[in-house]
Chains A and B, each alone.
Chain A
Amino acid sequence: MTTKLMGTGVQRVEDQRLLRGHGRYADDVAVDASTLHCAVLRSPHAHARIVDIDVADVLDVDGVHAVWTYDDLTGPMAEPLPLLIPHPALTHGRTQYALAKDEVNYVGEAIAFVVADDRYVAEDAVGRIRVSYDLLPPVVGIEAARAADRLVHDDVPGNVGARMEQSTGDVEAALAASPRRLTLDLDVERSACMPLEGRGTVARWDPDIDRLQVWSSTQTATGVRAVVAVKLGLDLRQVDVITPDVGGGFGVKINHPWPEELLVPLAARTLGRTVKFTEDRREHFISSAHERGQVQHIEVGFDDDGRLLALDVMFWHDHGAYSPYGLIVPIITSTQLLGPYKPEVYRVVFESLYTNTVMVTPYRGAGRPQGCYAMERAMDAIAAELGKDRTEVRAANFIQPDEFPFEQGLVFQDGRELTYDSGDYPASLEKIKALIGWDDFPAYRAEMAAQGRRVGIGLACYVEGTGVGPYEGAHVHVETSGKVKVATGLTTQGQGHATVFAQLVADELGCRFEDVEVVTGDTRRMPYAVGTFASRAAVMSGSAIHLAARKAKQKALKIAAEALEASPDDLQIVDGVVSVKGSPGSAIDLGTVAVLSNPLRYAFDEASKAATQFTVGDASKPPVAEDEEPGLEGTDFYSPERSTFASGMHAVIVETDPLTAEITVLKYAVVHDCGKLINPTIVEGQIHGGVAQGVGGALYERMVYDESGQLLNASFMDFLMPYVTEVPDGIDIDHLETPSPLNPLGIKGAGEAGVIPSAAVFASAIEDAEGLTSTGLAITAMPISPSDLFHLRLAHAEETS
């Protein structure tokens, strides 16, 4: 009897290939001397009108096959790139062109596209294109955007792309009636996903079948397919998009189409050659997306127990130069800010502002880290004001376990009510306190102080809406060999989908785990899909796969029941063998069932011979029953009513150096509730990675623009992603499993959680270590570097002297 694989840390099936160097990432596709390579001329200016582009010097460069500017684009390719997620509040949505038309709005915007024999020659050619510009004053930073004495887009007054407001009541009255009030002004700087593999697209046009094949390092194969078809004027059936191995995504690869994602297929079709674009690191910094940058103003009203009576939030979101991904990030900030709490009245207003910088689209967490930061800073401020323990104030505001489903009274990013499905926040708090040693910390602090060392503790809580719709689908096919081929349309960037989905199939269908092979992100195998974002893969595709496997199982049982002359109810499938319960001699393996499921006229091998018309079936009935289809397979879709809400709490103990202001992590703890776990090893891996990115975002990483809009740290030398030496040595993790009632497996998403509370938890702990007691809060801007902390100390010393 096999044990259930759900909940066990099965080793990943992907690893063998990847560890041998046999992975196949976008740049590994079509490694062939005949493949052409591309380079892009990018704007060196943040804001300018293009006066003239002279490509004459390029045309005679040996090995150059095409040089395109905007003027070479026609039809839909000459239109602006799509605004993927329109929203009524996005009154002034703007997107760029595949190649800049007349104006550039950030350093890095694509202006000209070169196709050449190799990337070296393509870069040579780019260097010979002459562009003359009329420089325009750039808008850099939220403050400049708000001041609006310069505009990014002439026709967007005040640089405001969107203004959105949601409220649950009369917040001004509630504030006025609150016995205590506090005001906070907070800042979060920009960072970026920064996967180790940049973007990449390869395309090949096959004139014999009138069909385009595209490989793209994307988080949505179906999205890329649809937009390539639209822009190139092809039928959907003429475009296949295959997602190869993807070297990390973290959000940036959900945006589509990137200019090159259209230009490469166009070049492949035009030139009749295989064409490849592989983004380099500098390009990734200046032409892929960033995230996080916000300025927040928060007013809270509360009582003597710290209960939130009124919460009024206004924030300004830096959207960069364009808004192709709509308002997803600020909407998530504005709604997920509430975390596990239930303020009596909440109002949130945001403005999404254009600046002459790289555009902003979701980065792991997608606006949640900023929301969590706002809320948790407010909690810390309330605790400080009341002289209460920070955990006590939080506990006073928790939604209680018996209050689910809990309506927050807002509309979430998917256009649906923000309704939490399940959770147990008090239980999480008890776990995190135990894990970090919250109650013992004062003694530890005293012990360290005696050695002249400064330590501080912080915690932060979050709720994460995961598994947003609209749907995902799955196809499960049992071959006559007994192998089970599974396809789902969303893509994989390292989450181990091939493993966890195989676990689900093995459990539900009853086949052997080793016999399952999962394909993701290939539109030839599953043309209906949405994509991998919002921690939705396990919830959405996991559920769909579970349902599809169930269908295949039901079919297998029906066919086997006939073959074994038993009732389907008396059958079981274990290790790929269907047998009559209690009578193991009466059995048939799934491969044979697959043979029986598909009556054949022709025989090719032993298996098909067994399925020919003289062998199979009752001669008095149609070979395929009226309500059946040939083949042992199942297809199903999962489309939930709304998102499911995971939650968690992080706590950290830091040490700050009294002289150098260096910040060291001494202990990091995570309590995480993503419902039922499919594979705890993989979930913990996701948490580890999220925490490391969170440490980066809190202590190291920021995009530094100068006033002219040049990104000053567009390299791994100066954009400080943590090495092992910068991350905690060990992360203590405890799980809580509060099942979701919304899907058949009771699961919730886990991908993004690790990064959400980082800015909040580090601000809390560093402030605690420093004992800085300014009015309100000492730490209001993240990330914080030793240099920043040093200046904070100086400012504080001045304030108190």
Chain B
Amino acid sequence: MSESLLDVRLSVNGVLHELRLPARRLLSDALRHDLCLTGTHVGCEHGVCGACTVLADGRPVRACLMFAVSAVGLELTTVEGLADDDGTLSNVQQAFVECHGLQCGFCTPGFLTTITAGLRENPQPTHEEARDMIAGNLCRCTGYQNIVKAVERAAELGAQQEVEGS
């Protein structure tokens, strides 16, 4: 007996995708295996590690804790959607390069999406706020030291652009 499929419309990084998926397809799997957006990583599938974090209407959510079918109507942003259209890295991505904020890179997409949203809400975090911003994501490589620096550096880059833009 074959599992029944549902029509699912997912809007990801500004592109609308029409899919036929089983109801149980996790959003993380739909992004990775159906849309080939493999930048979103799956580290635990129980919502603790944060590697699969994507933005839904701008807010970070765990893609492994949602079904693709219930993500209809949400504007999703994955790590592939963070750089500018011309390929320029976003401030957060650039800050990770400058601060050596990643090693194996597996948890990184979840940090990038989380920090992107965090800095939109709080563009100039204190040191404590910078730490708190990433407090729900696990990294096994970096000891977080340089990720915290990257949050602060990204805020600095943002502030410089504010000045230049004003």
Task: State the A residues within 8 Å of B (CB).
Answer: 9, 11-12, 14-16, 18-25, 27-28, 31, 62-63, 118-120, 194-197, 245-248, 250, 280-281, 493-496, 681-682, 684-685, 687-693, 715-717, 721, 723-725, 727, 729-731, 754
A18 adjacent to B108 (CB under 8 Å): yes
* Chain A minimum-CB-distance residue to B37: A21
B42 adjacent to A27 (CB under 8 Å): yes
The distance from the CB of B17 to the nearest CB of chain A, in whole angstroms, is: 15
Residues on B with C-beta less than 8 A from A22 are 39, 80
A19 adjacent to B145 (CB under 8 Å): no
A20 adjacent to B79 (CB under 8 Å): yes
Task: State the B residues within 8 Å of A (CB).
Answer: 1-2, 22, 24-25, 29, 32-33, 36-46, 48-49, 51, 78-80, 82-83, 89, 93, 96-98, 100, 102-109, 112, 127, 131-132, 134-148
Alpha-carbon gap, A119 to B29, bound state (A): 10
Extra pairs beyond A21-B80, A120-B24, A724-B137 (17, CB < 8 Å): A18-B105, A20-B93, A27-B38, A28-B32, A28-B38, A62-B2, A63-B2, A195-B106, A245-B106, A246-B104, A250-B140, A281-B43, A281-B44, A688-B144, A689-B141, A690-B143, A716-B44
Alpha-carbon gap, A717 to B104, bound state (A): 22
The distance from the CB of B126 to the nearest CB of chain A, in whole angstroms, is: 12
Alpha-carbon gap, A635 to B49, bound state (A): 42
Residues on B with C-beta less than 8 A from A495 are 103
Residues on A with C-beta less than 8 A from B131 are 724-725, 729
The distance from the CB of A531 to the nearest CB of chain B, in whole angstroms, is: 16
Residues on A with C-beta less than 8 A from B138 are 196, 716, 721, 723
Alpha-carbon gap, A199 to B29, bound state (A): 17
Alpha-carbon gap, A789 to B127, bound state (A): 30
A20 adjacent to B38 (CB under 8 Å): no
* 9 A-B pairs whose Cβ atoms sit less than 8 Å apart in the complex: A15-B102, A21-B38, A21-B109, A197-B104, A245-B104, A281-B43, A689-B140, A715-B44, A727-B143
* Chain B minimum-CB-distance residue to A250: B140
Alpha-carbon gap, A119 to B148, bound state (A): 36
Alpha-carbon gap, A717 to B45, bound state (A): 11
Q: Which of B32, B40, B41, B103 interacts with A494 by CB under 8 Å?
A: B103
Residues on A with C-beta less than 8 A from B36 are 31
Q: Which of A63, A197, A688, A725 interacts with B106 by CB under 8 Å?
A: A197
Residues on A with C-beta less than 8 A from B134 are 724
A20 adjacent to B39 (CB under 8 Å): yes
The distance from the CB of A117 to the nearest CB of chain B, in whole angstroms, is: 10
Alpha-carbon gap, A754 to B29, bound state (A): 35
A196 adjacent to B39 (CB under 8 Å): no
Q: Which of B38, B48, B112, B139 interacts with A24 by CB under 8 Å?
A: B38
A715 adjacent to B78 (CB under 8 Å): no
Task: Say whether chain B's binding surface is mostly helix, strand, loop, or mixed.
Answer: loop
Residues on A with C-beta less than 8 A from B37 are 21
Instruction: Say yes or no: A281-B98 contact (C-beta < 8 A), given A196-B139, A248-B106, A731-B143.
Output: no
* Chain A minimum-CB-distance residue to B109: A21
A15 adjacent to B97 (CB under 8 Å): yes
Alpha-carbon gap, A15 to B37, bound state (A): 18
Instruction: Say yes or no: A21-B106 contact (C-beta < 8 A), given A688-B142, A690-B143, A693-B140.
Output: no
B46 adjacent to A715 (CB under 8 Å): yes
B140 adjacent to A248 (CB under 8 Å): yes
The distance from the CB of B161 to the nearest CB of chain A, in whole angstroms, is: 18
* Chain A minimum-CB-distance residue to B95: A19
A281 adjacent to B38 (CB under 8 Å): no
Closest 7 CB pairs of A and B: A21-B39, A247-B106, A494-B104, A692-B143, A18-B105, A494-B103, A688-B143
Q: Which of B32, B78, B135, B140 interacts with A31 by CB under 8 Å?
A: B32
Instruction: Say yes or no: A688-B145 contact (C-beta < 8 A), given A18-B102, A281-B44, A493-B104.
Output: yes
Residues on A with C-beta less than 8 A from B96 are 15, 19
* Chain B minimum-CB-distance residue to A198: B43
The distance from the CB of A308 to the nearest CB of chain B, in whole angstroms, is: 33
The distance from the CB of B134 to the nearest CB of chain A, in whole angstroms, is: 5
Residues on B with C-beta less than 8 A from A715 are 44, 46, 48
Residues on A with C-beta less than 8 A from B29 are 119
Instruction: Say yes or no: A62-B1 contact (C-beta < 8 A), given A196-B138, A280-B45.
Output: yes
B148 adjacent to A724 (CB under 8 Å): yes
Q: Which of B22, B39, B102, B142 interacts with A120 by CB under 8 Å?
A: B22
The distance from the CB of B127 to the nearest CB of chain A, in whole angstroms, is: 8
Residues on B with C-beta less than 8 A from A721 are 138, 140
* Chain A minimum-CB-distance residue to B145: A688
The distance from the CB of A322 to the nearest CB of chain B, in whole angstroms, is: 25
B104 adjacent to A195 (CB under 8 Å): yes
Q: Which of B25, B45, B140 interacts with A194 by CB under 8 Å?
A: B140
The distance from the CB of A230 to the nearest CB of chain B, in whole angstroms, is: 29
Q: Which of B46, B93, B98, B137 interacts with A723 by CB under 8 Å?
A: B137
Alpha-carbon gap, A316 to B28, bound state (A): 43
The distance from the CB of B110 to the nearest CB of chain A, in whole angstroms, is: 9
Alpha-carbon gap, A692 to B139, bound state (A): 10
Residues on B with C-beta less than 8 A from A693 are 140, 143
Give the interface centre of A12, A118, A681 by most chain B CB atoms within 10 Å.
Answer: A12
B49 adjacent to A716 (CB under 8 Å): yes
Residues on A with C-beta less than 8 A from B107 are 196, 247
A248 adjacent to B32 (CB under 8 Å): no
A724 adjacent to B102 (CB under 8 Å): no
Alpha-carbon gap, A31 to B49, bound state (A): 23
The distance from the CB of A198 to the nearest CB of chain B, in whole angstroms, is: 8
Residues on B with C-beta less than 8 A from A16 are 89, 97
The distance from the CB of A23 to the nearest CB of chain B, in whole angstroms, is: 5
Alpha-carbon gap, A226 to B19, bound state (A): 42
A717 adjacent to B46 (CB under 8 Å): yes
B33 adjacent to A494 (CB under 8 Å): no
Alpha-carbon gap, A515 to B137, bound state (A): 35
A689 adjacent to B39 (CB under 8 Å): no
The distance from the CB of B5 to the nearest CB of chain A, in whole angstroms, is: 12
Residues on B with C-beta less than 8 A from A691 are 143
Q: Which of A63, A120, A197, A727 interacts with B41 by CB under 8 Å?
A: A197
